[in-house]
Amino acid sequence: MTSEPCVITGDAARVETAVRGTGSPVLVLHGSPGGIDAAEVMSRFLPEDRFRSVLLSRPGYLGTPIDPEHASIDDEADLLASVLDGLGIDRVGVLAWSGGGPAAFRLAVRHPDRVTAIVAASAVSGRWVPSRTGPGEYLVAHTALGASLSGWAARHLPRAVVGGAVSGVSRLRGRRLKDHVEGVLDDADRRAFLLDMAATGNSSGAHRAGWENDVRTFAAIGSLQLDRVTAPVLVLHGDADTEVDVSHSTRAASEVPDAELVLLPGGTHFALWDHVDAAAVQARAVEHLAR
Question: Which amino acid is located at 254 in the chain?
Answer: S
Cβ-based neighbour number of residue 173 at 10 Å: 10
Task: Report yes or no: 274 and 184 within 8 Å, Cβ to Cβ.
Answer: yes
pLDDT, one tens digit per residue, over 179-196 is 999 999 999 999 999 999
Cα(158)–Cα(24) distance, rounded to whole angstroms?
A: 35
| Res. 12 pLDDT band, cuts 50 70 90 | confident
Positive or negative: CA dihedral 202, 54, 25, 278: negative
Cα(98)–Cα(237) distance, rounded to whole angstroms?
A: 10
pLDDT, one tens digit per residue, over 18-50 is 999 999 999 999 999 999 999 999 999 999 999
pTM of model > 0.75: yes
- Counting residues of the chain whose pLDDT is more than 90, the rounded percentage is 84
pLDDT of residue 43: 98
pLDDT of residue 50: 97
Cα(128)–Cα(121) distance, rounded to whole angstroms?
A: 15
pLDDT at 153 over 60: yes
Mean pLDDT of the chain: 94
Cβ neighbourhood burial of 243 (10 Å; 0-12, 13-18, 19+)? buried
Q: List every span in the chain annotated with CATH 3.40.50.1820.
A: 10-130+206-289
- Reduce the DSSP state of residue 225 to 3 states and report it: coil
Mean pLDDT of 129-149: 77
User: For the ranges 31-35, 141-145, 158-162, which has the lowest average pLDDT?
Assistant: 141-145
Cα(186)–Cα(171) distance, rounded to whole angstroms?
A: 21
Give the strands of the sheet with 259-264, arranged side by side.
17-20, 51-56, 24-29, 92-97, 115-121, 233-238, 259-264
pLDDT of residue 287: 98
**What homologous superfamily is domain 10-130+206-289 in, according to CATH?**
Alpha/Beta hydrolase fold, catalytic domain (3.40.50.1820)
pLDDT at 133 over 90: no
The residues, ordered by sequence, that sit 6+ positions from 166 with a Cβ below 8 Å of its Cβ are 172, 177, 180, 181, 184, 194, 268, 270, 274
Mean pLDDT of 173-181: 98
Across 83-232, the runs of DSSP E, i.e. the strands, are: 92-97, 115-121
- Reduce the DSSP state of residue 276 to 3 states and report it: coil
User: For the ranges 28-37, 75-84, 136-145, 282-291, which has the lowest average pLDDT?
Assistant: 136-145
pLDDT at 5 over 60: no
pLDDT of residue 291: 82
| Res. 243 pLDDT band, cuts 50 70 90 | very high
